[in-house]
């Protein structure tokens, strides 16, 4: 029955060899969180809903104003004064009844890190730097990719941050490109924007999300696309993951095995094994052994970077999210990831020289 729906409603994209029925099933299983239901969020939400995404989360606390209508075409005159999230959810459900829509009518805040665990991809459709940096930091902590775009007057830019194919090695973060917020950039309300510009950039954001879910094409990972709609010129810039900027983030941060190795070679760092005592001692990487079940945070050394690890990375990430201090990291995929990367002996050798 479900395949019949795919064949009818999504027949045009199912005909594509890169999509097919299996690709459509991937879209139906996918979960996407959209932060911001304004000029960028409108085309992203409706495009992903129409494509058959299985679950879409919408985050926005704003209500619809008349000045929104020339570029936020998901809404109409009769919607003025209503919640953007509520209206956007109605449109998506009407377009794609099989899509589950979760509504978060609130500002995106630091307490929403747990929500990210229920989504595969995050889309940054916000219009302020404070929220964008927060999205970055929470996505890095949760190991989630996010597709970000920004617009100004006749121009826009787009990139994919914290992208990973295998969940072990991650691409550059937003802070790798912009370590700190600029001193002053006018908002769209101050500097203006041509109504079509957010539609163009939002459609491109949705395109990147679909590529990530389907596993096709070249992702804008480590690349920044600049678009000038007056000249229709585009520029593609490349940038790399900067470990210094990744480590400067607030909150828990996932480190790959190779990044941990680089840390051990260049700076003082303490490893903390949070597995239980009855787990395989032969897989202990070194450092402190403080089982999660009875861990006292007071035992963690102050004023020094701490890398928590366990067998798979799940328990260490959970603990890193509870410790409210800077400089606490979790080893992505834990000991298993180290073994897969083939750097177990190197890390243990370096860590053994720093045993407390």
Q: How many CA atoms lie within 13 A of 109 on its CB side?
A: 6
Decide if 310 is catalytic: yes
Q: Exactly one of 37, 87, 176, 310 is catalytic; name it.
A: 310
Which long-range contacts link 247-251 to residues 24+ away (Cβ below 8 Å)? 247/305, 247/327, 247/329, 248/175, 248/179, 249/136, 249/137, 249/140, 249/141, 249/173, 249/175, 250/137, 250/326, 251/110, 251/113, 251/137, 251/138, 251/141, 251/321
- CB 113, CB 249: distance < 8 Å: no
Classify residue 281 by burial, with Cβ atoms within 10 Å: 0-12, 13-18, 19+: exposed
Whether 106 sits among the annotated catalytic residues: the reply is no
Alpha-carbon distance 261 to 48, whole Å?
39
d(CA 8, CA 236): 37
- Tell me 53's DSSP state: -
C-alpha 130, offset from chain centre: 15
E strand intervals along 36-118:
55-59, 100-104
83 DSSP assignment: B
DSSP per residue over 259-303, as a string? Answer: HHHHHHHHS--EEEE-S-TTS-GGG--SSEE--GGG--GGGSPTT
Q: How many CA atoms lie within 13 A of 311 on its CB side?
A: 10
Q: What residues act catalytically?
A: 188, 310
């Amino acid at each position: 029955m479900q395949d019949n729906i795919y064949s009818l409603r999504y027949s045009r994209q199912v005909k594509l060899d890169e999509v097919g029925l299996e690709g459509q099933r991937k879209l139906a299983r996918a979960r996407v969180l959209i932060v911001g239901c304004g000029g960028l969020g409108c085309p992203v939400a409706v495009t992903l809903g129409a494509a058959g995404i299985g679950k879409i989360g919408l985050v926005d606390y704003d209500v619809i104003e008349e000045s929104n209508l020339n570029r936020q075409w998901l809404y109409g005159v009769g919607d003025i004064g209503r919640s953007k999230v509520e209206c956007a959810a109605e449109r998506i459900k009407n377009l794609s009844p099989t899509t589950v829509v979760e509504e978060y009518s609130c500002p995106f805040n630091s307490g929403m890190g747990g929500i990210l665990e229920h989504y595969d991809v995050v889309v940054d459709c916000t219009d302020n730097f404070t929220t964008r940096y927060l999205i970055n930091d929470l996505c890095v902590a949760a190991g989630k990719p996010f597709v970000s775009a920004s617009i100004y007057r006749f121009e826009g830019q787009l990139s994919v941050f914290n992208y990973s194919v295998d969940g072990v090695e991650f691409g550059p973060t937003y802070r790798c490109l912009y370590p700190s917020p600029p001193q002053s950039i006018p908002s769209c309300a101050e500097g203006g924007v041509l109504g079509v510009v957010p539609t163009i950039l939002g459609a491109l954001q949705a395109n990147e999300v679909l590529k990530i879910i389907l596993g096709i094409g070249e992702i804008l990972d480590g690349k920044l696309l600049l678009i000038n709609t007056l000249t229709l010129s585009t520029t593609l810039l490349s940038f790399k993951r900067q470990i210094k900027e990744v480590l400067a983030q607030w909150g828990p941060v996932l480190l790959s095995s190779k990044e941990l190795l680089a840390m051990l070679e260049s700076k003082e760092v303490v490893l903390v094994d949070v597995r239980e005592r009855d787990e395989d001692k032969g897989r202990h990487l070194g450092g402190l052994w403080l089982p999660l079940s009875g861990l006292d945070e007071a035992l963690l050394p102050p004023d020094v970077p701490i890398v928590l690890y366990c067998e798979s990375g799940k328990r260490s990430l959970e603990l890193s999210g509870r410790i409210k201090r800077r400089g606490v990291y979790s080893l992505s995929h834990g000991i298993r990831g180290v073994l897969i990367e083939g750097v177990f002996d190197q890390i243990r050798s370096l860590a053994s020289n720093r045993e407390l």
